[in-house]
Structure 1
Amino acid sequence: MDDDLTSPSTYKRASETAENILKDLPEQLRAPKVGIVCGSGLGGLAEAIEDEPKVEVPYKGIPNFPQSTVQGHAGKLVFGLIGPAKTPVVLLVGRAHFYEGHSMELVTFATRLCRMLGVEVMIVTNAAGGLNPEYNVGDIVCLNDHLYLAGMVGVNPLRGPNDESIGVRFPPLSDAYDLELRRRAHIAWRKLELDSSRGKLHEGVYAFASGPTYETRAECRMLRGFGADLVGMSTVPEIVVARHSGMRVLAFSLVTNRAVLEPGLRGDDPLVQGMSAGGLAEFLSKGKANHEEVLEEGRKAARDMQGLVKEIVGDLYAN
């Protein structure tokens, strides 16, 4: 694929891929109104759709589509219906990440595809580290803004020639996270009475880090100082492309670990001098993130996230 991330050939490939998929779908699934991206450990969101009709399309069989190599990402599109209004939706169970070696064009190709399929609303989910000390593991955060440091220095999916038929050259992002959809999210949360010992619903700012390394203590403090409540390795490039394409956006982060903000002990600290090697290792391991824990917390909270998304979509198209 070429390096021009918004070149006409990108749109042509997305259009060709959409046509290839749609021809094999039953009539009632050919015009999905909502696209739902399932983040790490959140593939259970696919259970929110009706059992019939349902069509699953593995990524490996889709022309031009990037392949995810990450554990916990099944890699398939799921077409089905949600809610009393039988709203047609498409779920992206798994996503491509920049850290896997994909270009930003490929990372956001699925979002372009959703636009070509006719999607009006993108609901994007992810697993993230909590920077805000008020967040606990298992909490869900409705995103209301983001920090895209990589994008500010050139790693932006809109770099390159722009097709005005898709979106404007300089799209504003001050309204990236749809306020009316966020209002619906809070109403749905209260209606379902999900606020419990298992987790709470917050609103916050997500910081994109390219990964695949988790952030250092100093990086976490820097991001928190910049105003970030969460940090993760996805979502923001998809949001940028979704808004450029004219789709409305609602995004949720599941807090799967609490980032370590306090500085580590210095090597010349008297406390360190008296520690055994085992004690030093135990101290450094406190709060350390790992992917297995991310997936486990995703599985635990999947039911709440599933119910929340189902309620929002059902209410959105009820009339």
Structure 2
Amino acid sequence: MQRNEIVEATDKIKENITETPSIGLILGSGLGVLADKIENAVTIPYKTIPHFPESTVSGHKGQLVVGKLEGKQVIAMQGRFHFYEGYTMKQVTFPVRVMKALGIDSLIVTNAAGGINENFQPGDLMLITDHINNLGDNPLLGPNDDELGVRFPDMSHAYDRDYIEHAEKCASELNLSIQKGVYVANTGPVYETPAEVKMLRTFGGDAVGMSTVPEVIVANHAGLRVLGVSCISNMAAGILDQPLTHHEVIETTEKVKENFLKFIGKIIATLPND
């Protein structure tokens, strides 16, 4: 039963930490640099935690970092798990369950994404206002454990409206221009074809990636408040006539890391405790 696995993983992490985290962070490709800013950091490799998968993707270090960031106690995933790596949806989202069990009540999810909205450009930061699950799977399929969440969770406001408003205010105070939009999750690991990008734009997507949605579904199931931020690392296929590579993704996130660090840092520093 997954609940037993959650307890075993949680107990192992508690052996290494003394403070209870209130905010969870999931750091996407090239964005793990935020965890390097955590003070009094305790680093726990995924391979030492029972039932945790291991990150296999470049740009994902594969460790938890626990400590204080901007005055708040946080637990950060420096690298996430993806459906395309061959993991089940329950494995992909297992860390969210564990972070909830450790005491977080808020989750900030970040990713690198391809821009579908033609008004975007590489290097933009986008607040996720909603998502489209195009993965063909769902982490809540199967029997429901009522102690973890309700059978039919409401996804009307999967991304907390107050948190989005708070993030917009932070961006304004930093004189940082940001975008807002709908994130589409595809399975990967291939990038989309131009025809698929055109379809996703018709569906109402603004950015596309290969993660985030499963974790957000489980976070909502667990009663966590969620904020999502995408780094537009490239324009999706067919918008610019150039090949897409993971190297380009990492290169772009490196260029925008200062804005990313300032933005997320400001959000965390001023995030209400209620």
The residue type paired with residue 248 of structure 1 is R
The residue type paired with residue 198 of structure 2 is R
8 A contact 1:21–1:62 mirrored in 2: yes
Cα deviation for residue 318 of structure 1 reads 6.9
Q: Match for residue 226 of structure 1?
A: 203
Q: Match for residue 293 of structure 1?
A: 248
Aligned-partner SS, 1:169: coil
8 A contact 1:47–1:306 mirrored in 2: no
CA–CA separation in structure 1 for the residues paired with 2:214 and 2:158:
12
Judging changes above 3 Å, is the alpha-carbon distance between structure 1 residues 167 and 241 closer, same or farther for their aligned structure 2 residues? same
Sequence identity (%): 43
8 A contact 1:131–1:261 mirrored in 2: no
8 A contact 2:113–2:230 mirrored in 1: yes
Unaligned runs of 5+ in 1: 1-8, 196-200, 263-284
CA–CA separation in structure 1 for the residues paired with 2:4 and 2:244:
40
2:241 counterpart of 1:260: no
* Aligned Cα root-mean-square deviation (Å): 1.4
Cα deviation for residue 219 of structure 1 reads 0.5
2:23 to 34, 41, 64: 34
Q: Match for residue 274 of structure 1?
A: none
Aligned-partner SS, 2:254: helix
Q: Match for residue 208 of structure 1?
A: 185
8 A contact 1:48–1:310 mirrored in 2: no
Q: Match for residue 63 of structure 1?
A: 50
Larger radius of gyration: 1
Unaligned runs of 5+ in 2: none
Q: Match for residue 166 of structure 2?
A: 184
**1:38-66 superposed Cα distances (whole Å, 9 cap, x missing partner):** 1000011113322xx21001111111101
8 A contact 2:38–2:65 mirrored in 1: no
Aligned-partner SS, 1:108: helix
Q: Match for residue 99 of structure 2?
A: 114
**1:128-167 superposed Cα distances (whole Å, 9 cap, x missing partner):** 000000000000000001111334xxx1100011111211
8 A contact 1:142–1:204 mirrored in 2: yes
The residue type paired with residue 293 of structure 1 is E
CA–CA separation in structure 1 for the residues paired with 2:135 and 2:176:
35
8 A contact 1:257–1:287 mirrored in 2: no
CA–CA separation in structure 2 for the residues paired with 1:55 and 1:18:
15
Q: Match for residue 83 of structure 2?
A: 98
Looking at secondary structure, tell me which structure has more strand per residue: 2
Cα deviation for residue 306 of structure 1 reads 1.4
The residue type paired with residue 72 of structure 1 is G
2:129 to 132, 144, 166: 144
CA–CA separation in structure 1 for the residues paired with 2:220 and 2:273:
24
Q: Match for residue 268 of structure 1?
A: none
**1:192-236 superposed Cα distances (whole Å, 9 cap, x missing partner):** 2223xxxxx111000110000000011000000000000000000
Q: Matched residue pairs, number?
A: 274
Aligned-partner SS, 2:51: coil
2:10 counterpart of 1:10: no
